[in-house]
Amino acid sequence: GLSTAVVLSECSKLDNSTIQIIDKVLPPGNQASALSSGLVYYPALLSEKHGRSTIERFKQLSTNSEETGVVITPSVILRRTDEGGVITKPADFTAETLTKLQELDPSFRKATTEELKGAPNGMFGPQPVIAMPTYLQYLKNKLDSHKRVSFEQANISSLQEVFQKTNASVIINAAGIGAGTLTGESVTSLSSHMMLLKHTGKTLARSYYDETNPSGNTYYFPRQDGCILGGTDTTAIGNNVDDTVITNILARVDLMLPELSLKDAQIERTWVGSRPIRASGVRLEVEETNEGPVVHNYGHGLGITTSWTSAETAVELVIKRLNYFSSLEDSSLKRPFEGAGDGEDDQSPKKRRRIQSTDKNVEE
């Protein structure tokens, strides 16, 4: 939601619009985003429409890491197979994948034997690791600096209530797990146990992500505010920490990275994070309701990784619905840290229309 608001505020064609952000907990509160591990998973961006601009945005944010919390970190991502030779998760690390990533950053390469930690396959490359509370506060401050952006803390039970409350021309539904309540759809949560360790002399300057570990999802992410260890992937909704799970995570990370000597680790905090997912996939489209148009932007399941690419697409849909541009591909939409074409304002009257998908299939 915050990423979408930032992109809205950056779009020159919307300079005369006001942006109101409504949330039951204002950032950087205890939202799902604040509890995220903070890894941006570059392979997942290769198929995204705005994947390249997303990567560039994170690189730019990392140049001011103290304020943004974004640090580009050397990362090792491991892949394992079971006894039958079947990859237990999607095979990200094909030669084609590596080639595409090397086009974005030449430093991507296959992981060395030492880096593999016994896994059969893996890749090494720079990826952002984000201290989420710092990052969310940065986005909040950035939006607070715009006079036409406002925040309101409120509990919302329906989209109709938002239209009545705000008299908005367009609503963007980026409510995450709350989108299920607003739409009546099934939105569940992929939950993961995590812990924050204080920085000590025994830390690594690189991330390790072993999602296909047969004993459970295992990762180590050195962030600006400490080291994140995790995790689990379950669809159970809840935030109660299981101490046995935390002990097992410590044991798995210790086995993967014995050089950390985690027996004496100082655990600062434990929690259960969540990533809202939608059974039928991401919903990124315009719905015409009796009260007005709603741009849905939820169900991603990839947390911070797809935040900017989905934000850009959502704003394109808003602009298309408001009839500013005749095409979703209009280059006048300001891209992250790139100049926007001036162009001439489209003065044609506003029309109601149904946009059925995010990219090509537009029915007017």
| pLDDT by 10s per residue, the chain, length 364 | 999 999 999 998 888 889 999 998 888 776 678 888 999 988 888 878 888 888 899 999 999 999 999 999 999 998 876 544 444 454 456 778 888 888 878 899 999 999 998 888 889 999 999 999 999 999 999 999 998 999 999 999 999 999 999 989 999 999 988 898 999 898 888 888 999 998 665 667 899 999 888 888 899 999 988 899 998 877 765 678 999 999 999 999 999 999 888 877 889 999 998 888 888 889 999 999 999 999 999 998 887 899 999 999 999 999 988 874 434 344 444 433 333 333 333 333 333 333 333 332 222 2
pLDDT tens track for 323-355: 744 343 444 444 333 333 333 333 333 333 333
Amino acid identity at 16: N
pLDDT tens track for 248-307: 999 999 999 998 888 778 899 999 988 888 888 899 999 999 999 999 999 988 878 999
CA 195 to chain centre: 19
pTM (2 d.p.): 0.83
Contact assessment for residue 238 and residue 272, using Cβ atoms and an 8 Å cutoff: yes
Please provide residue 9's backbone torsions phi and psi, each rounded to the nearest 5 degrees: -70, -25
What lies within 8 Å, CB to CB, of 355 at 6+ separation is 285, 286, 317, 320, 321, 362, 363
- Token pair listed for 300: 């991603």
Q: Return the percent helix, strand and coil in the chain, to nearest 5.
A: 35, 25, 40
Strands 19-23 and 149-153: parallel
